Structure 1
Amino acid sequence: MPTLQRPDGEIHYQTFGAGFPVLLFAPGGLRSRMEMWPAPASGPARPWVDWTQALPAAGFTAVAMDQRNAGASVAAIEADHGWHTYAADHMALMDYLGFEKFHVLGGCIGGSFCLKAAQTAPNRVASAVLQNPIGLHPDHPEYFPDSHAEWTKEQMAARLELNSDALAGFGHNMWDHPFVFCVEQDFVRRCPVPTFLLPGSDIPHPAATSAELAALLPGVEVLKDWRGPDHLDQQRDRVVAFLKANTPAG
C-alpha cells in the first residue's frame, strides 16, 4: 500500500481510476479508514455507495486514505493536535500526489474533515459532499467524549509510548466544541465551496445538525432519501452529477 511520510508518522492511502481527483474521508470516527467504503464480504451491506469504485467508473480519481492512527496509518498524538492536524495531512497528501485542486467527499467524521478542508484551503477545494455528518447531539452531548475515552484506551493498550495527558488534550481540541466540532456556524454560513448534503438521522449523525447545515450552507443541494438499498442508484447518480457540475473546466 502506498505511504505518505509525515514529520511525525506515516499515512497509508490508495488511488483508484483517472480524472479529476476526489479526496475521500471514510466513516468510522477516529477509526476512519479505507476499508469502511466497501461492504464486507460477510455483510451486512453498507447504506452508502462504495465511492472507491463508483467515482472511477464516472471518470474521477478517487483518493482513499487511512486517517492518522486508524487502519494502517500511525502518527504521533500530541496535546496541541486537533482538526488542523488532520487537515495538514490531507493537504500534504494532495500535494504529494500533485493535485492542486480537488473535490472532497466524507462520511460520518468525514463531513467535518470536508468542512475543515474548505476552511483551510477554499481555493483548492472545488466542492464538498457531506455524507451523514457528525455533530453535537442536543440530547446526547456525551457521545463523542465517551467515544474518545474508548478510543484512548485502545491507543494506550497498543502503544505504550503514548501520553495520557496528550490524548486528553487532543480529545479536548476535537470534541469540546459545538455544532460540527471543526468549524463554527459563521464559517458555514459564508462557506465559499459548493456543497451537497446527505443528511444524518441518529445519535452520532444528528438530524438537527444536518438540518442546521441545510439552513446555513449557501446554495447547498440536499438529498433527503439516500440510504441503501432502495436509494443507492439515486445516491450515486446525484453525487456524481454534482461533482461533475463543479469540476473546473480543463
Structure 2
Amino acid sequence: MPFYEKGDVRIHYAEAGSGFPLLVIPGGGLNSTVAGLATHPFNPFNEFQGEFRVISADLRNAKGGESTGPLEVDRPWDAYTDDQIGLMDHLGIREFMVLGFCIGGPFIWNLLKRVGDRIPAAIPAQPSGYRPEMPGMSYNNNMKGWGPELCARRSDITMAMVDTFLTNMYGGARADFVYTVTRDFVRGCQTPILVLPDDVPAHPYAVAMETVHLAPNAQVSLYPWKDTPDKIPLAVRHIRTFLRAHRLAGSAQSVAAAAQ
C-alpha cells in the first residue's frame, strides 16, 4: 500500500477499482486499519471495487497499522479528519461518498460538517455514539487498550497526553450523541444518509436511530442486519443501490460545477 505524507503525518492507504470514489473508514476504534476490514461483516473492497474506486487508510497511530503522526491533543477528531480530507486531496479527488464502520460514524458527521459540499452521500454502518448509561466507556477502554500500547511504541507520547487527547475526544461537551456534531447540525444536514444500526455498548441503537429521525434525507437499512449470514447480503444490496443512485447525482454535480 502507498503512503500520503504531509509534514509529520504519514498515512498508509489502499485503493482498488475505478469509478466514483468511495472512501471507506474501517471500524476498530482508534485501532482502525485497512487490514481490519477482513474481520468486518463484509469487506467493501470485495463488494464494491467492481464499480467504484474504493479507498481506505489506516488511522493515524493505530495499533497494527502503518499510519503515523503527532498526537494532537487539542483537536483529536479534526486531526483524523485532516488526514482523511488530505488523502482525498492528494489523490486529486474532489467529490466522494463515504462508508464508515464504528468510529467511522462520528468521522462521517465531522466530514459532513467540514466538507459536506464534496460528499453526495454517506453510510454510517454500526456507528459509534455516546451511551449515557455508560458515560466513561470510550475513554476507559482506550486508556486501557490503546494508550499504553501507543506509549510503548512512541517515546514522544505520554499517558498524560493520552489522557488529555481522550478527554477532548470523548469527554466534556463531546460526551453526547455522535461526539462530533450536534443534533441541530444533523437536523439541518441535507446529505442523503443510509444508516445500518447496531446495538452493542459502543454502537448504541438509540443514537443511530435518532440520526435517522433527525436527518431530513436519511433512511435506515434492515435491523438486525448481521446477526445471521443470510441477512448481510441484503444489507450490502441496499448499500449498493444507495451508492449507485447517489453516484449518478454526484457525477451530475461534478459536470455542472465544471461547466460553470
Question: TM (normalized to structure 1)?
Answer: 0.93
Q: State the number of aligned residues.
A: 242
Task: Give 2:211's match in structure 1, choosing from 198, 210, 213.
Answer: 213
The aligned runs of 1:187-206 (5 Å cut-off) are 187-206=185-204
Q: Check whether the contact 1:78–1:167 (CA below 8 A) recurs between aligned residues.
A: no
For the aligned residues, what is the CA RMSD? 1.3
Conserved? CA contact 1:3–1:12, under 8 Å: yes
Structure 1 counterpart SS, 2:47: helix
1:158 aligns with 2:153: yes
Which amino acid in structure 1 is aligned with residue 105 of structure 2? G
Q: Report the equivalent of 2:57.
A: 65
Kept in 1, the 8 Å contact 2:72–2:79? The answer is no
| Alignment-derived partner of residue 118 in structure 2 | 124
Equivalent residues in 2 for 1:1-250, closer than 5 Å: 1-39=1-39, 46=40, 48-57=41-50, 59-70=51-62, 71-150=65-144, 151-176=146-171, 177=174, 178-225=176-223, 226-227=225-226, 228-247=228-247, 248-249=250-251
TM-score, normalised to structure 2's length? 0.89
Structure 1, residues 86-124: CA drift from partner, whole Å, max 9, x if none? 111111000011110000110000111111111110111
Which stretch of the first structure deviates more once superposed, 157-166 or 203-212? 157-166
Q: State whether residues 190 and 215 of structure 2, in contact with CA within 8 Å, keep that contact through their aligned partners in structure 1.
A: no
Conserved 8 A contact 2:148-2:159: no
SS at match of 1:193: coil
1:193-227 per-residue CA deviation (whole Å, 9 max, x = no partner) reads: 11000002110001111121121111211013321
Identical residues among aligned pairs (%): 32
Contact 1:78 1:169 in 2 (8 A): no
Give the Å deviation of 1:24.
Answer: 0.5
- What secondary structure is seen at the aligned counterpart in 2 of 1:106? strand
In structure 2, list runs of 5 or more residues that go unmatched.
Answer: 253-260
